């Protein structure tokens, strides 16, 4: 089946998150996804890239993050790849908001948000590359 791919590479700094959101919004809108789906995609990709910056590259700001958007007839797939530390996302638990506030935690919602916003979220690591795959089907 025919698909179209768009790619963007950013350095691992939060200052480029705005560019990532614009890149996702442009291509998801061009692919005729609804406004609501575009918002969800923007946010999920932002969270995935933020995790890479903070956890995979641990604050190093010049490492590459490759983002690919693949548009198919029935879905939009975003692949976020990095060569940083592979961190275990499988220990994810749904955060308890009240406990979070009590312990004054400020992070840890990223994966939770991604899973709420996307139809599929998966991770794999191989050959020194970590890949996060986000899938959103058409409404």
Find the binder of other proteins among 6, 8, 11, 50 (CB under 8 A).
Answer: 50
Q: Which two tokens stand for residue 57?
A: 């590259």
Closest CA to 117 of 98, 130, 135: 135
**Is residue 92 at the binding interface for other proteins, with CB under 8 A as the rule?**
no
**Is residue 46 at the binding interface for other proteins, with CB under 8 A as the rule?**
yes
Find the binder of other proteins among 8, 81, 112, 131 (CB under 8 A).
Answer: 112
Q: Cβ 130 to other proteins, closest distance in Å? A: 18
- How far is Cα 55 from Cα 19, in angstroms, rounded to an integer? 20
DSSP assignment string, 75-119:
EEEEEEEE-S-----TT-----HHHHHHTT-----HHHHHHHH-S
Using CB under 8 A, list all residues that contact other proteins: 13-15, 17-18, 21, 36, 39, 42-43, 46-47, 50, 53-54, 95, 97-98, 100-102, 104-110, 112-113, 116-117
């Amino acid at each position: 089946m025919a698909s179209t791919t768009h790619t963007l590479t950013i350095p691992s700094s939060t200052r480029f998150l705005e560019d990532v959101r614009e890149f996702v919004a442009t291509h998801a809108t061009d692919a005729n996804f609804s406004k609501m789906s575009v918002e969800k995609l923007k946010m999920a990709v932002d969270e995935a890239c933020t995790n890479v910056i903070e956890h995979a590259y641990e604050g190093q700001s010049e490492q590459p993050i490759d983002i690919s958007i693949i548009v198919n007839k029935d879905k939009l797939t975003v692949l976020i790849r990095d060569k940083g530390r592979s961190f275990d996302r499988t220990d994810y638990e749904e955060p308890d908001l009240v406990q979070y506030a009590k312990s004054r935690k400020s992070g840890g919602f990223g994966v939770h948000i991604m899973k709420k916003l996307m139809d599929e979220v998966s991770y794999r690591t191989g050959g020194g590359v970590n890949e996060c795959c986000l899938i959103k089907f058409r409404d």
